[in-house]
Each structure stands twice: as structure tokens, then as C-alpha cells.
Amino acid sequence: MYGINVHRAVIAAKEKFSGPTVHFVNSNYDEGNIISQTKVKLSNNETPESLAKKVQDAEKIQLINVLKDFINSKN
């Protein structure tokens, strides 16, 4: 599952948090070791589109931080 379908499923499951994960790539889809995860809190009136925006905003910050850590040899 990917894209807007993930956000729909998170809302349907009444989850309180979602968020992006950065992981190493291996031969299986989305199964590499996790490098970083970020939590995004869902609001009471969350829509798949509003959640997608929150997660995308978090992804941008997260990716920059992960790259900085790699540059500084923290991972």
C-alpha cells in the first residue's frame, strides 16, 4: 500500500499518529533496516489529503536531518 491509500487506512484504523520512515533499501519493498522515523499527530477532523500534507512536510525535514547525520558519520 502506498500514497493516499496509506493515509486513508491510517484514518480508518483511528490511529493517533502516522509519519514517514527512512530506511535502507533491500530486495523487499519497505523492509530495509529503519534509519529514522518521525511521528505526525492526527487531528480529530483529519482527511487523507491533510494527513498527506503533514507527512510530506515532516518528510522534508526528516530527510535533511538524516542526510546531515550521514555526512557527520552518525549512522
Q: Beta partners for 41?
A: 17
Q: Is the pLDDT of residue 54 over 60?
A: yes
Where does residue 2 rank: exposed (0-12), middle (13-18), buried (19+ CB within 10 A)? exposed
Which domain, by its residues, includes 14?
4-71
> Could you report the per-residue pLDDT of 4-41, keeping only the tens digit for each?
999 999 999 999 999 999 999 999 888 899 999 999 99
Question: In Å, how far are 19, 33, 34, 57, 66 from 51, measured between CA atoms?
Answer: 9, 25, 22, 10, 22
* H or E, element range at 48: helix 48-71
Give me the mean pLDDT over the 39-48 stretch. Answer: 97
Q: Is the pLDDT of residue 75 over 80?
A: no
Give the pLDDT score at 29: 83
- Structural domain count, the chain: 1
Give the pTM.
0.86
Give the pLDDT score at 25: 93
Give the pLDDT score at 45: 96
Closest CA to 19 of 65, 61, 58: 58
